[in-house]
Structure 1
Amino acid sequence: MRTIHGDLLQFALDGRFDIIVHGCNCQCQMGKGIALSIKQRFPEAYAADCATSKGDPTKLGTISVAEIRRENRTFHIVNGYTQFHWRGDGVKADYEAIRNVMRAVKARFAGKSIGYPKIGAGLAGGDWGIIAPIIEHELASENHAFVEYKA
């Protein structure tokens, strides 16, 4: 897994990634963290999220996708359903859902450059020491990078 420092969303706009993946809950909220930034900057991604069934537990491990077109650049944002809800303390990240999201990303976007934040290890409370190897395994042989935010 490559790690780079910077702004994942700006990197996509600059052409460094064809695909950006972030973790979402199954409640169609996108109300905090990078999800909120995506919602505000790329409303198409929020529309793709809202086109799914709110509160449906069968969404865990699936994805919704938005095509983003800005000036002469096109890329995709993947909303990966990696947690059911956002409320309460403790771990809300579902490790098997993260695995299935990454499998879906590889199946649909093999050969593309893929960037992602610390999916499931921020507000969702998951353990990056568990999540990073899952991502590495599922995206093996793909051009992918973890982007650690740095303004």
Structure 2
Amino acid sequence: MSEIVSEILSGITYVRGDATEPCAGGARVIAHVCNDVGGWGRGFVAALSGRWPEPEADYRAWYRDRAGNDFGLGAIRLVPVAPDLWVANMIGQHGVRRPGRTAPAPVRYDAIDTALDRLAGQVIELGASVHMPRIGCGLAGGSWPRVEPLITERLVRRGVPVTVYDHGEDGP
């Protein structure tokens, strides 16, 4: 169950809840950011894998066969997980952050922007709403004030309803 917290000028609806349980009817896409090195297992992907095996299996196959496909920064794949529900694996992170190391954050804002632009075309065609955690801002190390305008520009301004989910007491 999600609780609406606020809708701000960006046109994004913020709720407290679980992004793997979209709070809307109709066609829905759960969007999230993946890395470009084939790593899956920490962060939001663990929640996805806890609900459906398909997003992880598709990501791993996509990575494994990358020499013959479009896998790379800015690429996306929509993976069906239920009727009228897809998971969008979006490559927006270069590498991964190793615990205890001070390497630069792996987030790549330009790749997230490209992925969101590609996502927009697909969700408009599906007539879907988009649901997500604060993409690129967890393990990828990104800044929400830099990601939010990308979502507004690429999705909201094109008429795509977007809901961002915050777990627990973290609000907008």
TM-score between the two structures when normalised by the length of structure 1: 0.86
CA displacement 1:35-85 (0-9 Å, x = unmatched): 11112321100111012134969610011221012xxx4300000101121
Q: 2:31 aligns with which of 21, 37, 43?
A: 21
- Identity percentage over the alignment? 25
Which runs of 5 or more residues in structure 2 are unaligned? Answer: 1-11
| More moved, 125-134 vs 47-56 | 47-56
1:47 counterpart residue number? 57
How far residue 149 of structure 1 moved from its aligned partner, in angstroms, is: 1.8
- Pick the structure with greater CA Rg: 2
2:153 counterpart residue number? 137
**Quick one: which amino acid aligns to residue 77 of structure 2?**
S
**Quick one: which amino acid aligns to residue 104 of structure 2?**
G
| More moved, 85-94 vs 98-107 | 85-94
Does 2:78 align with 1:62? no
Q: 2:47 aligns with which of 23, 34, 37?
A: 37
CA 40–134 in structure 1, closer or farther in 2 if over 3 Å, else same: same
Aligned residue pairs total 147
Which runs of 5 or more residues in structure 1 are unaligned? Answer: none
1:104 counterpart residue number? 118
CA 66–54 in structure 1, closer or farther in 2 if over 3 Å, else same: same
RMSD: 2.3
Q: 2:88 aligns with which of 66, 73, 78?
A: 78
1:148 counterpart residue number? 166
How far residue 90 of structure 1 moved from its aligned partner, in angstroms, is: 3.0
Does 2:131 align with 1:115? yes
TM-score between the two structures when normalised by the length of structure 2: 0.77
**Quick one: which amino acid aligns to residue 120 of structure 2?**
K
How far residue 4 of structure 1 moved from its aligned partner, in angstroms, is: 1.3
